[in-house]
């Protein structure tokens, strides 16, 4: 079995695309909208805990230890996984935590499990595609690439209506409660949440690498 340079080139292209998407959707937007401070109208975190507690009849705790494979919430462990930066008082934090709140209202545990399943299948299929291409197995490589694209399409079709509703409800809440606090900037950032589903597949390598580095730095600390 001969080694093919095309697999390496394919991996480089994938990483470049993911780096670009991560820079635009993640890093660049985060830096931009973290600079604009806001004053919270009410505690959204309390609303998230209340919504989940009422739905599953148990009290939830907050964990700031998040990574690509963790769901937004876990009813068996009674944990809400939250990015620590979502607790700050700025537009970036506000939009993300309100969006998460609406997700907890309109999704169930099975939705979270299906999302995790799609993440894993997407990651495995794309990884298998470029590895097989490295060994010159073009047909199998293309097959796994098609599986990857199929997963994205199915995920989008299954969850489009849910996340469209989440987006609309988030927008309505922000307009109603933050119309006097940089609303144009708030809605400008919110528009990027329309790509919430696609972002999972466009940045997962970079997310995993970034979160692995953070986990290594926090080695030995309590969750």
State residue 24's pLDDT score: 84
**pLDDT over 70 percentage in the chain:** 95
State residue 221's pLDDT score: 57
> What's the whole-number mean pLDDT along residues 106-132?
88
**pLDDT over 90 percentage in the chain:** 32
In 64-102, which positions are buried (b, 16+ CB within 10 angstroms) versus exposed (e)? ebbebeebbbebeeebbbbeeebeeebbbbbbbbbbbbb
The model's pLDDT over 58-96, given as tens digits with 9 standing for 90+, comes to 888 888 766 777 778 877 788 888 888 888 889 999 999
pLDDT at 172 over 90: yes
pTM of the model: 0.84
Band (220; pLDDT cuts 50, 70, 90): low
> What's the whole-number mean pLDDT along residues 179-183?
88
Residue 195 Rama label (left phi>0; alpha psi -120 to 50; beta): alpha
What is the spatial distance between Cα 132 and Cα 126, in angstroms, rounded to a whole number? 10
> What ranges do the domains of the chain cover?
5-43+85-211
At 79, which helix (H) or strand (E)? strand 79-81
| Average pLDDT value for the chain | 86
The model's pLDDT over 127-142, given as tens digits with 9 standing for 90+, comes to 999 999 888 888 999 9
The model's pLDDT over 5-43, given as tens digits with 9 standing for 90+, comes to 888 888 899 999 999 988 888 788 989 999 999 988 878
Residue with tokens 């394919």: 10
pLDDT at 4 over 60: yes
Band (149; pLDDT cuts 50, 70, 90): very high
């Amino acid at each position: 079995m001969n080694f093919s340079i095309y697999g390496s080139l394919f991996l480089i292209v994938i990483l470049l695309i993911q780096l670009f998407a991560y820079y635009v959707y993640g890093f660049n937007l985060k830096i931009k909208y973290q600079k604009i401070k806001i004053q919270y109208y009410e505690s959204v975190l309390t609303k998230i805990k209340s919504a989940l507690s009422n739905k599953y009849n148990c009290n939830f705790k907050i964990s700031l230890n998040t990574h690509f494979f963790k769901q937004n919430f876990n009813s068996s462990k009674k944990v809400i996984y939250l990015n620590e930066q979502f607790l700050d008082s700025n537009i970036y934090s506000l939009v993300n935590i309100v969006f998460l709140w609406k997700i907890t209202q309109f999704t169930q545990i099975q939705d979270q499990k299906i999302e995790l399943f799609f993440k894993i299948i997407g990651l495995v299929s794309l990884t298998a595609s470029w590895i097989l291409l490295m060994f010159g197995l073009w047909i199998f490589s293309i097959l796994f690439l098609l599986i990857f694209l199929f997963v994205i399409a199915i995920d989008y079709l299954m969850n489009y209506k849910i996340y469209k509703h989440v987006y609309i409800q988030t927008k309505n809440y922000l307009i109603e409660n933050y119309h006097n606090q940089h609303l144009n900037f708030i809605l400008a950032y919110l528009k990027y949440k329309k790509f919430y589903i696609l972002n999972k597949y466009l940045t997962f390598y970079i997310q995993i690498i970034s979160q692995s580095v953070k986990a290594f730095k926090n080695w030995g600390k309590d969750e």
